[in-house]
Structure 1
Amino acid sequence: MIILENKRMERKGFDDLDRRKPSGAAVMRPELTTSLFRALFEEWARTGYAAISLERVATHAGAGKAAIYRRWPSKLEFACDAIRSVEVMRLGATDQGNLQADISEYVRATRAVFRHPLVRRIIPDLVAERLRSDELSVMLDSISAARRQFGHRLLNRAIARKELRPDIDKELALDFLFGPLYARMIVRGAKLTRTDLTRLVSALDAAIKSC
């Protein structure tokens, strides 16, 4: 979440820097790329994907529109790269020693992601856009695959520890792992207290063991 949460990003001098003409190939400054990503997320959360203005994004990042097209040939490529650049939908595979502790880490990390105001707006828009057009299907599939890959590692560790049966329905278990948080925090817009979190972890532990 570095890009989404770094609200104090240095913007001074971006116009001057971006107008410099390097010798040879254009120099893609990482700090400007980061600023463009954050500006894109803010615009996306405000307007929705379909109404994103790349000109407004560039202006908000303190750059010219050409700075975007030097990096990405289209809005879609820009958006896909921005999503890949952050940990919005990916989690580490830290082994906590047992299934319930692994579930707890997963749930707490996901809760932290879903609490971010930009994420709460962008994720539903991603889903809605997929229903209108196939343009974002690759991006959504990539997000889903990354999260489920983490989930598979979590389940495989539990199987190796003999906490789960080897023939467990992994796809159903992964649906359990992600679904309740998404439904509560994104669909319903509800909060999740620490007490709620503890109860959810216990319920998920029992549900996954029954798959």
Structure 2
Amino acid sequence: MLRGEITRAIRSALMQELAAVGYGRLSIEAVARRAGVSKTAIYRRWSSKLELVLEIVVAAAGSKLPTLDTGTLRGDLTLLFKLVTHALGHPLASQIIPDLLAEAARNPEIDETLQVVLRAKQQEIGGSLVARAVQRGELPVGTDAGAAVDLIVGPLYWRLAIARSTPAQAYLDALVETVATGLGAAPAVPRQRDVTPPAAPA
């Protein structure tokens, strides 16, 4: 394999192994075996399993979200919930994320790294989605972006990562309205039904 292919194979193997056994039982030997490379190939790139895990987790979590600018708060929330459902609903993510959060309580380096990543994500969402809604007049000036992000992401994270339940579209639609209203947006205007009056009798 070429150098780039080896690195990709190691990263893929790490995610698979991390999902299968968790951080505590993860070993460089198992990652190397799954990737089809030698342990030396891994140690040339990373000095320990902690360094390997942190780099790859940061790369995955730090990937930029697509621009969430549909023109309305509810449209932005709908798109965000779709993206989060897809990401957290992935079998690897649903196994890895809870395990790493539990490990963070025991490992200060993992905890610090995850906190940095989470704060960056909070800023990315809060600094764009919420700010644009304020600029459009959909949310009050002075809306707390941090609290807003907790309200936006929290319920869906609970449903996907903790309860391990895939939400139906009706749930996501209801969540959009609940979150928008909770943030202080005006209620959605119901669509007017196009009702054709009955023809007058001849």
| TM-score range normalised by the length of the shorter chain | 0.7 to 0.9
Alignment partner, residue 178 of structure 2? 203
Return the letter of the residue paired with 1:99: L
Encode CA deviations 1:160-203: one digit per residue, 9 max, x unaligned: 11111121122211110110011111111112011111111111
Return the letter of the residue paired with 1:65: K
In structure 1, how many angstroms separate the alpha carbons of the residues matched to 2:75 and 2:152? 13
Q: Is the CA contact (8 Å cut-off) linking 1:37 and 1:82 kept in structure 2?
A: yes
In structure 2, how many angstroms separate the alpha carbons of the residues matched to 1:112 and 1:135? 28
In structure 2, how many angstroms separate the alpha carbons of the residues matched to 1:143 and 1:166? 27
Which of these residues, 18, 23, 26, is aligned with residue 52 of structure 1?
26
Task: Give the length in aligned residue pairs.
Answer: 184
Alignment partner, residue 165 of structure 1? 140
Q: Is the CA contact (8 Å cut-off) linking 2:10 and 2:35 kept in structure 1?
A: yes
Which of these residues, 69, 75, 83, is aligned with residue 57 of structure 2?
83
Q: Is the CA contact (8 Å cut-off) linking 1:88 and 1:113 kept in structure 2?
A: no
1:193 corresponds to 2:181: no
Which of these residues, 147, 153, 159, is aligned with residue 178 of structure 1?
153
Encode CA deviations 1:80-127: one digit per residue, 9 max, x unaligned: 221233358752233111111111111110000111011001110111
In structure 1, how many angstroms separate the alpha carbons of the residues matched to 2:81 and 2:66? 12
Alignment partner, residue 94 of structure 1? 68
Return the letter of the residue paired with 1:178: V
TM-score, L = length of structure 2:
0.85
Encode CA deviations 1:56-103: one digit per residue, 9 max, x unaligned: 101111110111111112212211221233358752233111111111
In structure 2, how many angstroms separate the alpha carbons of the residues matched to 1:209 and 1:33? 47
Which of these residues, 111, 114, 119, is aligned with residue 85 of structure 2?
111
Q: In the superposition, relative to structure 1, how do residues 60 and 42 fare at CA in structure 2: closer, same or farther (>3 Å)?
A: same
In structure 1, how many angstroms separate the alpha carbons of the residues matched to 2:154 and 2:63? 14
Which of these residues, 106, 110, 131, is aligned with residue 136 of structure 1?
110
Encode CA deviations 1:3-55: one digit per residue, 9 max, x unaligned: xxxxxxxxxxx4xx6xxxxxxxxxxx222111111100111111111111111
Return the letter of the residue paired with 1:199: A
Q: Flag structure 1 segments of 5+ consecutive residues without an equivalent.
A: 1-13, 18-28
Q: Flag structure 2 segments of 5+ consecutive residues without an equivalent.
A: 186-202
Alignment partner, residue 121 of structure 2? 147
In structure 2, how many angstroms separate the alpha carbons of the residues matched to 1:33 and 1:66? 12
Percent identical among aligned pairs is 35
**What CA RMSD, in Å, does the superposition of the two structures yield over aligned residues?**
1.7
Moved over 4 A (4+): 87-90
In structure 2, how many angstroms separate the alpha carbons of the residues matched to 1:107 and 1:54? 35
Q: Is the CA contact (8 Å cut-off) linking 1:184 and 1:190 kept in structure 2?
A: yes
Computing the radius of gyration over CA atoms, which structure comes out larger, 1 or 2? Answer: 2
1:69 corresponds to 2:68: no
